[in-house]
């Protein structure tokens, strides 16, 4: 959730932008971007992803409440998603 791609997915979805399927940057994590877009579909717009530079605990709770909707069970790794 802290990755720039996740944040970009949230930002793009909330701004009504089309998905960035054409990013060719080698280090771009497409799955993180898509997870951010999916999280944004279920998160109220009033729910901020971060507060004072840290992940919002309510945003994390929402992610884990819907983790199976956001990413396949085999891909869920709490340490990686929150790093």
Q: What is the pLDDT of residue 82?
A: 55
Spans in the chain with pLDDT lower than 70: 72-83
pTM for the structure as a whole: 0.78
Structural domain boundaries in the chain = 4-19+26-81
Q: What is the pLDDT of residue 28?
A: 75
Q: How many CA atoms lie within 13 A of 82 on its CB side?
A: 13
- Among residues 40, 42, 39, 33, the alpha carbon closest in space to that of 8 is found at 33
Q: What is the pLDDT of residue 38?
A: 92
Q: What is the pLDDT of residue 74?
A: 45
Q: What is the pLDDT of residue 62?
A: 94
Q: What is the pLDDT of residue 39?
A: 94
């Amino acid at each position: 959730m802290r990755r720039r791609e996740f944040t970009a997915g949230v930002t793009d979805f909330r701004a009504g932008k089309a998905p960035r399927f054409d990013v060719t940057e080698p280090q771009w994590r497409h799955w993180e971007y898509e997870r951010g877009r999916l999280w944004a579909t279920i998160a109220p717009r009033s729910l901020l992803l971060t507060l004072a530079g840290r992940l919002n605990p309510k945003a994390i709770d929402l992610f884990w409440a819907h983790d199976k909707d956001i990413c396949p069970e085999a891909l869920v790794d709490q340490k990686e998603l929150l790093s």
